[in-house]
Chain A
Amino acid sequence: EAGVAQSPRYKIIEKRQSVAFWCNPISGHATLYWYQQILGQGPKLLIQFQNNGVVDDSQLPKDRFSAERLKGVDSTLKIQPAKLEDSAVYLCASSLVFRPLNRGAGTGELFFGEGSRLTVL
């Protein structure tokens, strides 16, 4: 089974430029997440999709970040214009629906891609 695919792996841009990251989740996973991980910190959720609808984008800086998942499969995260503090690894993850009372449905763990490392100069 193919894992979560992300591209590009690395990107270096100047501040005020734009950048886009792409993610293809595991087939059949309805839930897709974008996390931002700054060096030395834990991942921070930017946006969560359930199929093609947004479930949580409370920590997404909407003045510069946008994300879409038009057909409920792959997703794109865009930053425009980029700031120095946006330098981070952007992790995409996918999962099945979480059912903590039903172990037969799986643990609901998130499967992560390898990440896209962004450096803003």
Chain B
Amino acid sequence: AQKITQTQPGMFVQEKEAVTLDCTYDTSDPSYGLFWYKQPSSGEMIFLIYQGSYDQQNATEGRYSLNFQKARKSANLVISASQLGDSAMYFCAMRGRRLGGSEKLVFGKGTKLTVNP
């Protein structure tokens, strides 16, 4: 079974500093993808970044980068130069690919990030 663990219920960071949000996962699927979504207080789910299990390089999207350590089964999100608008819930999620199985996206419990001015 797929499982995502986010151990930080809440994180605080000063504006313009970098922050790392932790995510570990467990799966028996031979290939899978890891996703990070942002959910502001307004409720919409915003896709941030994707890392495929066979990707050799860590994914980057603007100020977001994913620190992927396959052997440790971790996929931490790094946000550089934090902005006040980054304050939101952040969810790590995983989607697997196996024969005969569903490709559902499984979410962690989330981390609430607060950026202080």
Which A residues form the contact surface with B (CB < 8 A)? 31, 33, 41-45, 48, 55-56, 89, 91, 93, 97-101, 103, 107-112, 114-115, 117
Contacts and interface: CB of A to CB of B under 8 A. Distances in A.
27 contacts: A31-B103, A41-B109, A41-B110, A42-B4, A42-B110, A43-B91, A45-B104, A45-B105, A48-B103, A55-B102, A56-B104, A93-B45, A98-B33, A100-B33, A100-B52, A100-B53, A100-B97, A101-B52, A101-B54, A103-B52, A108-B103, A109-B47, A109-B50, A112-B44, A114-B44, A115-B43, A117-B43
A20 to B, nearest CB: 20
Contacts of A111: 47
B32 interface: yes
Interface in B27-67: 31-33, 35, 43-45, 47, 50, 52-55
B110 to A, nearest CB: 5
Contacts of B54: 100-101
A45 B33 CA distance: 17
B33 A107 contact: yes
A98 B50 contact: no
A103 B52 CA distance: 8
